Structure 1
Amino acid sequence: MVARGSEVPPSVVRQSSSRDSRGRGQRRSLGRLAGLGAGGAALLVLLTGCDVGQTFDGFGWPQGGISPESHRMYDLWIGSVIAALAVGVFVWGLIFWCVIRYRKRGEALPVQTRFNMPMEFLYTIAPILVVSVLFYYTAIVQTGVNKVTDNPDVTVEVVGFKWNWQFNYRDRPGVDATTIASTLGTTEVIPILVLPTGRSIRIEETSRDVIHSFWVPELLFKRDVFPGNVRNVFQVSSLDQEGAFVGRCAELCGTYHSMMNFELRVVSPDEYDRFIAAKQGGQSTQDALASIGEAPLATTTRPFDTRRDVNNFGNASAAGAGS
């Protein structure tokens, strides 16, 4: 016979069961958070242990930049993609977890809740944090890329026209500066822009007719060349790799837009000084390049064929007479 005082009230049993259930739920939540943290740590170690951009071909961003500005833009892109992938993996994980964990089991309606404060807090604060961090680093990189100083080491005026380029080496920045040497491109000869490594370079752009666009892929950005009184100015803090790099017009400007190419030739500071001295001495760009041991003609592109013949114009002589 059991004494009445030894009976356990049902409410106590329910409370004990509820506490046990909450305890198990908390332990499962802690286990999931621990697993998520371990996975995130492993992913971080994996990503920092290799060149992510090189492994995944830059995630679509061009590689091989030759200036500090191009490296900063590249790093910003890689970091943004990694952040987007991390957020995507987290969201996809939550979706699939809900699909599996809360899939339909019988005809009973699952427990309905009006709100979940931790989840709502996460979905509100996390996007704000992500956007704030990306905005901060974007502003920092953009400010650095657009930074222009008053006393650059080299100033070059880039003049675009249909359909070629002229490069004027100037003694100082500004419209009133004096041109000390110049290179003019023609249909037969690709213009070559010679610049040194290790020096700050200011590019001042203007056009004689329509809008063109100055683009060297290895610089990882391009700048429009406007006609009139607008001078688009940008600066590269330095170039860190010698070599020949193709340049193009990236703005549809007319019939021969696709053939409006030039070449950027990056040389040592000593070779650059000798090149400018040779130009000031009256030598052509080709002779000046040869005098410093560089190929006199462009190696990354070639002159274009205007193709003004009977197949294109019907009467070639008549078409050429008025050109």
Structure 2
Amino acid sequence: MLTGCTSEETAQWKRLGLPPGASDRTEAMKSLWIGAWIAALIIGVMVWGLILFASVRYRKRNENAPRQTRYNLPLEVLYTLAPFAIIGVLFFYTVEHGNKITAMSDHPAHTINVVGQQWQWTFNYKDTVDGQEGVWETGTLDNPATLWLPVNESVHFDLTSPDVIHSFWVPSFYFKLDVIPGRTNKLELTPTKTGSFAGKCAELCGLYHSRMVFTVKVVSADEYQAHLRELAAKGQTGAATGGQDATTIPGSGPKEGQK
């Protein structure tokens, strides 16, 4: 068993199952995640210990009925106040870390409008490219979208949906936020590692929910700008509201499968 433990698996055990972090929000989320598990383990050991103690100490020894007690005030005060103390501590650290995770800056380096629709993603980059205000790219069921991001530069995301509730989730960023029709949800983060990362919809949104995936490609600033120029050269300027499969199930009849 020990020889099967690679350095990667050991590192994952230390993160308690979290993937390697790739954004500036990972430390706060990781600290909250591990802290919550430690607190749960401590409380669990205490509860298991009390259960075992009561089972042994007050086990049945003869046929005589045990002494009847109407109440035990110290014990009742303890099991009333203890949960409030636990909740208070967890609430404090959740709010403290949550503020760090959801913090916004006044002037992010980039802004991207993420559109989640049945059943793919569209990304509207708000950068000015060759005099054009904004470029876009979208995915289909057969060709999922790719979101390009520059490393070590802050990115503000506006999340919108034209149909049902979706959820924008990149596990390696330790961030997930719902995409709700009629509402713009916002998040901000800075990618800290180059490479490709998996993204997906984490909200059951319909028939092809399982195929509502995308790839996040974190590259250098020069590669990011070059990609935006490629989109502009293709004529994909301005903003798009959804992919070509947003309202129709491919392979169905002209009416069947319509939204």
Structure 2 length-normalised TM? 0.73
Residue matched to 2:185: 232
Match of 2:173 among 219, 225, 229: 219
Structure 1 length-normalised TM? 0.60
Q: Which has the higher contact order (CA 8 A, sep 6+)?
A: 2
Residue matched to 1:82: 38
2:156 pairs with 1:199: no
* Residue identity opposite 1:201 in structure 2: V
Shift in CA distance, 209/63, structure 1 to aligned 2, threshold 3 Å: same
Give yes or no for contact 1:65–1:218 (8 Å, CA) kept in 2. Answer: yes
* Residue identity opposite 2:170 in structure 1: V
**Following superposition of structure 1 onto structure 2, how do residues 32-51 of structure 1 map, counting pairs within 5 Å?**
none
**Following superposition of structure 1 onto structure 2, how do residues 1-323 of structure 1 map, counting pairs within 5 Å?**
54-55=12-13, 58=16, 62-105=18-61, 119=75, 122-171=78-127, 179-228=133-182, 230-236=183-189, 238-280=190-232, 282=233, 308=251, 319=253
Q: In structure 2, what is the Cα distance between the partners aligned to 1:71 and 1:120?
A: 39
Shift in CA distance, 114/248, structure 1 to aligned 2, threshold 3 Å: closer
Shift in CA distance, 263/101, structure 1 to aligned 2, threshold 3 Å: same
Q: In structure 2, what is the Cα distance between the partners aligned to 1:209 and 1:104?
A: 62
Q: In structure 1, what is the Cα distance between the partners aligned to 2:205 and 2:62?
A: 67
**SS of the counterpart of 2:107?**
coil
| CA offset digits 1:91-144 (Å, max 9, x no partner) | 222232233234444567777777767655544443332221111001112222
Give yes or no for contact 2:157–2:188 (8 Å, CA) kept in 1. Answer: yes
Please identify which structure carries the higher strand content.
Answer: 2
* Residue identity opposite 1:86 in structure 2: I
Give yes or no for contact 1:246–1:263 (8 Å, CA) kept in 2. Answer: yes
Q: In structure 2, what is the Cα distance between the partners aligned to 1:321 and 1:114?
A: 70
* Residue identity opposite 1:152 in structure 2: P
How many residue pairs end up in the alignment? 234
| CA offset digits 1:122-179 (Å, max 9, x no partner) | 444433322211110011122222222221111101123333222111149xxxxx84
Using the TM superposition, give the Cα deviation of residue 195 of structure 1 relative to its aligned residue in structure 2, in angstroms. 0.4
Q: Percent identity?
A: 42
Using the TM superposition, give the Cα deviation of residue 283 of structure 1 relative to its aligned residue in structure 2, in angstroms. 5.3
* Residue identity opposite 1:231 in structure 2: T
Give yes or no for contact 2:149–2:216 (8 Å, CA) kept in 1. Answer: yes
* Residue identity opposite 1:183 in structure 2: E
**For the pair shown, which has the larger CA radius of gyration, 1 or 2?**
1
Please identify which structure carries the higher helix content.
Answer: 1
* Residue identity opposite 1:55 in structure 2: W
List runs of 5+ in structure 2 lacking aligned partners: 1-8, 237-248
Give yes or no for contact 2:200–2:214 (8 Å, CA) kept in 1. Answer: yes
List runs of 5+ in structure 1 lacking aligned partners: 1-50, 173-177, 286-305, 314-318
